[in-house]
Amino acid sequence: MDLATFERLLAPEGQELLAEVAERAGIESDLGLGTRLRKTHPGDLVAAAVTQNHLRGKAATKLGSDAAHLYFTHDALEQATRRRVADHRAQRLAESGVSGVVDLGCGIGADLVAFARAGLRVRGIEQDPVRAAIARANLAALGLDGTIETGDATQATLAPDETAFADPARRTGRGRVFGTADLQPPWPWVRELLRGRAVAKVMPGLAHADVPAGVEAEWVSDGGDLVECCLWGTAFARTRRRATLLPSGATLSLRDEPAVVGGVGAYLYEPDDAVIRAGVVAELAAELGGWLLDPHIAYVSADRGDVTPLGRRFRVEGELPFREKPLKAALQQRRIGTLTVKKRGVQVVPEELVKRLRLTGPHSATIVMTRVDGVGRAFLVEPLRG
């Protein structure tokens, strides 16, 4: 979609067409609907309306009810921040006393929306004219104030009372980027921003060694999905590393707890991926009055069964043989037919193991296969709620 087509989509004819597409979606096929509408409307405008309706449906999982009123491109929607995550970041900035934010490379404006809703003064800079126009339209669609400029974000000048936010692109023509070398704008520019009043959203796989000195790295999961690492510049850093889980808002900061190691107690905990990536598994163990099974494996064990949003909880029902043949016999004796295998630190492929076991029986079970004191062991566990 080019800029002229998007501007026509915002005009009365385009809005009427978009409303008709939304009304008829699910009743007529996209092909049939498009063919019919092209008899009375320009083909490129029909294609834009059908695409927008499709993207709005896809965006609902990220942006909730807002999605039905917003505009997107395929690539920009992929990079757009989930609403709960954007709201969390915006609220923390507001609580830090920030009054204005400049989104350097604002895309379609998902983060700008969250900043504006948090009561912050917002300004977006976007090099792509189509995305800039979409961001402007999205703020207007939700009745939010803000200005959008088309230009090079790396050349922007910030006022003394403005905080910078950057979300460098993590996709190239070759696909998704997993390291800092291919980020755009470039990583050195992001690092320089973070020396002051700035926040940056980067990939959740960011290595600890890549976190600049004096910057806080916050790994965020939403609904159990690890979605990003947020880097808080030196003006906002409270700790070196942190894990935050949404929607609960539970958070755990690095305290350099010693890694206490022990055997298997009455309960096992599987930490959330944000806890693991932030390297605060030992801190979780300390909070639960527990310990690690191995200094290099992210399982926590404890004798008390505290409920925590920071990890999944299992009651240990007993130990099973680790080797495959006696394991199968033990499961057959219990008449297990449906098996869930969870593993860490051992050379086991759960799906392949389940196939080889060829279990039949009326009962289901969950087993944990891991390493304790350097030795592979298996445990029958019961997943617990909470």
How far apart CA 154 and CA 125 sit, in angstroms, is 9
User: What is the CATH architecture of 77-251?
Assistant: 3-Layer(aba) Sandwich (3.40)
The 10s digit of each residue's pLDDT in 25-47 is 878 887 888 888 898 899 999 99
DSSP state of 212: P
Collapsing DSSP states into helix, strand and coil, what is residue 285? Answer: helix
Strand ranges in 203-328 using DSSP code E only, listed in sequence order: 216-222, 225-232, 241-246, 250-253, 267-271, 291-294, 297-302, 311-320
Tokens at 180, concatenated: 């800092």
Closest CA to 197 of 231, 163, 169: 163
pLDDT at residue 174, as a whole number: 58
The 10s digit of each residue's pLDDT in 136-193 is 999 999 999 999 999 999 999 999 999 999 999 876 555 566 678 888 899 999 999 9
Going by pLDDT thresholds of 50, 70 and 90, the confidence category of residue 301 is very high
Collapsing DSSP states into helix, strand and coil, what is residue 263? Answer: coil
The 10s digit of each residue's pLDDT in 86-103 is 999 999 999 999 999 999
Write the burial class of residue 350 (CB in 10 Å: 0-12 exposed, 13-18 middle, 19+ buried).
middle
How far apart CA 250 and CA 263 sit, in angstroms, is 27
Alpha carbon 36 to its chain's center: 39
**This prediction's pTM:** 0.92
Tokens at 249, concatenated: 């808002």
Euclidean distance between the first and the last CA atom of the chain, given in angstroms as a whole number:
46
> Are 234 and 270 spatial neighbours (Cβ–Cβ below 8 Å)?
no
The 10s digit of each residue's pLDDT in 205-259 is 999 999 999 999 999 999 999 999 999 999 999 999 999 999 999 999 999 888 8
Tell me the one-letter amino acid at 50: V
What are the extents of the domains in the chain?
A: 3-60, 77-251, 267-311, 318-384
How far apart CA 25 and CA 374 sit, in angstroms, is 57
How far apart CA 77 and CA 79 sit, in angstroms, is 5
Closest CA to 55 of 43, 69, 37, 39: 69
Q: What are the DSSP calls for 163-180, one per residue?
A: EEEE--B-EETTEE--SS
pLDDT at residue 34, as a whole number: 83
Q: What are the DSSP calls for 8-65, one per residue?
A: HHHSHHHHHHHHHHHHHBTTB-HHHHHHHHTTTS-HHHHHHHHHHHHHHHHHHHHHGG
**C-alpha angle 293-297-302 in degrees, rounded to nearest 5:** 35
